[in-house]
Amino acid sequence: MKVKICGITNREDAEVAVQAGADALGFIMYRKSPRFVEPAVVRAIVAGLPPFVLPIGVFVNEETATVRGLMDECGLALAQLHGDESALYCQGLGRPALKAIRLKDRGTFLALGEFQGRANIRGFLIDAFSDQAYGGTGQTVDWTLAQEAARSTPIILAGGLTPANVADAIAHVRPYGVDVSSGVEQSPGKKNPDKVKAFIEAARLVPI
């Protein structure tokens, strides 16, 4: 099971996640987020990552030129597009990307289908729908709907995951990977090392 620890804001938390076995780290490049991190900090953290830990930048409705520039500047391998970006936007980005889909109901599957097979899209992150924020709300995804999505395409499951429920979520949904941010924090932007380790351990114990 692949595990992404998102909302990394400092080197200490990055090191904790890497040592615990994280496959990917997420850096929020959206200035309105409480987990926003300056590009210079991201660049310094990414420069110290082991070769098989994937650095991912999270962007929300950003200009394509800005996304490309920040990815190159910071050494980011993937852009996670967490806003209202269209399939045409993704195609024009010219960089490998994950498209976040905020799962509200079965109608959301139409949006998922719009992006499938598009150039640059490497996969989908399924998050909980909220009309208050683009992500990081801690709200739990409807696992039954997420399971339906996972039948047609590999997904990364996010939304309300914690060390206590991630094993059940994986067993129910059968995603390609899981993503956590607020569920392993002690405060917004600061991780709890014990929760990070417990989350990754719990995710890896589920037979796949």
**Active-site amino acid positions:** 6, 127
What pairing do the DSSP bridges indicate for beta strands 97-103 and 155-157? unpaired
Residue type, 82: H
Which residues are CB-neighbours of 125 under 8 A, at least 6 positions away?
Answer: 80, 82, 98, 99, 100, 101, 155, 156, 157, 158, 179
Task: In whole angstroms, give the CA distance from residue 84 to residue 148.
Answer: 22
Q: Chain centroid to CA 34: how far?
A: 16
Helices (H), the chain: 11-20, 39-47, 64-74, 87-93, 108-115, 143-152, 166-173, 193-204
